[in-house]
Structure 1
Amino acid sequence: MECDNVRALRRSNRLQLILPARCRSRSGFADEVVISDLSEHGCRIDSLGLILHVGDLVVVRPAGIEGLTGVIRWIKGHSAGIEFDRPLYPPVVEHLHRRHERFLTPEYLANLPGKLRLAA
């Protein structure tokens, strides 16, 4: 239910991509994750070892850019939604999308189980 409420509150569309990153939280979670969608205001991460909670403060560090700080807004299975503390500059979002988008359609990726989505 919380996931649906967050979708209604989104300020911008998220772009599908497959971007490896490192995620760290104050609660002790640190793992390699995959950013599977991205917008100026947030992203979705996928991790088979996801140990986060709604409200956790996190830093997501994709290769090649500085860490993005934010808060976990929703969790579903092996995925979590992060709202960034400060919006990303739109050309940065577009550049990352172009560089890390894949030939698989978003509908196809959305229907894959977590493990397969991470491998896609």
Structure 2
Amino acid sequence: MAVQCRTQSGLRDNGEISDISAEGCCMRTRGIYLRVGARVVLRPEGMEGLTGIVRWVRSDLSGVEFDRPMYGPVVDHIVATHSSRAA
């Protein structure tokens, strides 16, 4: 799923999120390097911003824990919508 990422310091990048759950997601960015502990705002395509903290980083992938869990049915809808696009 396409996402725009903004760091607390104001850096922005477009990327992709995957493995989304109510508590967080995996994000791939190309233009910025994120560090563990960084605060971010993720703006997935068609949604309001989600705030969170980077918990792990491996190359261009990072794990983000959301500040507040997403509503379960919203997560289910996102997964169903985007997994059908991939298929």
Instruction: Give the TM-score normalised by structure 1.
Output: 0.68
* Higher RCO, Cα 8 Å, sep 6+: 2
Please give the per-residue CA displacement for 1:55-95, whole angstroms capped at 9, x wherever unaligned: 01000001211100000000001100000000000000000
- Contact 2:6–2:40 (CA under 8 A) maintained in structure 1: yes
Query: How far apart in 2 are the matches of 1:31 and 1:70?
Result: 16
Q: Which residue of 2 aligns with 1:97?
A: 79
Query: How far apart in 2 are the matches of 1:62 and 1:26?
Result: 17
Structure whose residues are more often strand by fraction:
2
| Structural mapping, 1:36-51, within 5 Å | 36-51=18-33
Stretches of 4+ moved more than 4 A in 1? none
Structure whose residues are more often helix by fraction:
1
Unpaired segments of 5 or more residues in structure 1? 1-18, 104-120
Alpha-carbon RMSD across the aligned residues, in angstroms, is 1.0
- Contact 1:59–1:68 (CA under 8 A) maintained in structure 2: yes
- Sequence identity (%): 46
Matched residue type, 2:72:
P
Instruction: Give the TM-score normalised by structure 2.
Output: 0.92
Alpha-carbon offset, residue 28 of structure 1? 3.2
Query: How far apart in 1 are the matches of 2:7 and 2:32?
Result: 11
Bigger Rg over Cα? 1
